[in-house]
Amino acid sequence: MFVIAAPGQGSQKSGFLEPWLESSSHRRNLARWSELIELDLIEHGTISDQDTITDTAVAQPLIVAAGIIAGRALLDALPEGASLAFAGHSVGEFTAAALSGVISDDDAVRLVALRGRAMAAAAAEIPTGMSAVLGADLEILAAALEEAGLYAANYNGAGQVVIAGERSALARFQENPPEGTRVIPLQVAGAFHTSYMHSAVSALAEASSGVITREGVHPLYTNRDGSRVEHRETLGYLVDQVARPVRWDLCMESFTRDGIQGMMELAPAGALVGLAKRALKGVPTVALNTPDDVASAAELVSGS
């Protein structure tokens, strides 16, 4: 089984879409989605600066749109009958749901645009943020977070947990972290995947009520608990995960259990490949940051 993984917010880099736009079909799709969500994805993926594309309302649809065009190019290049599975980190779950065939590409981009706006609005209500904690023992960290009034938002595996909460509490936690850990503030606008996002959950639930799901062509893993998800459950999980922790660690455990042979991360790639190299030792990986990387991914699958 080869896992195609879709990254989450924070993976975007200024100009990262430029090489993909040499394809006229990719440019047409991005132009159409830009009209659909009233946001210029081509401009933001090519000339907008890093501060602009860090904005939650811009970053989320940009990342998902990029992942879909990279994923479609990859699927076209892979041998017929390849054993594939999909998973996404946080907002990347929408990319994975589209590419696995559970929801349409248009619905994925449309819902994520609303998700980004709703999460940005929720984040504006109270000054909150997120920090990465490296080297933490989960039991010790859980007790320290409860005492600090903070939450574990992303369990990324390989000794990395992202925590979230009010900025003042995060600052105090960084000053006095659990022994043996390192705390790194992240450039995000709010406490995502916590109860601070409940208003965004309601908005996304309403927007997704008319979306049609289909039986996926390929298996899809969920951030909820790392399990394979049935298509009828997918939308509910995508909505709930806005205010629930991301369990990427459990996804990687499931990949190992199910016999992963390799992992390919869609654009903008790097973060999930990095985690895989530490937690899925010996599993070959490919980061698809340009169309040239598609050939490397196809070689990985064909050579299995």
Domains of the chain, CATH where assigned: 2-124+194-302 (3.40.366.10), 128-185 (3.30.70.250)
Taking Cα atoms as reference points, which of 244, 206, 36 lies closest to residue 118? 206
pLDDT of 304 above 80: no
pLDDT of 13 above 90: yes
Mean pLDDT of the chain: 96
pLDDT digits (tens, 9 = 90+) for 184-226: 999 888 999 999 999 999 999 999 998 999 999 999 999 999 9
pLDDT of 158 above 90: no
Single pTM value for the model: 0.96
pLDDT of 275 above 80: yes
Which residues are identified as catalytic?
Answer: 90, 193
pLDDT band at 136 (very low <50, low <70, confident <90, very high): confident
Stretch 107-122: mean pLDDT, rounded? 97
pLDDT of 215 reads 92
**Residue appearing with tokens 């975007």:** 12
Stretch 278-293: mean pLDDT, rounded? 96
CA angle 287/66/216 to nearest 5° reads 85
CA distance 200 to 112: 11
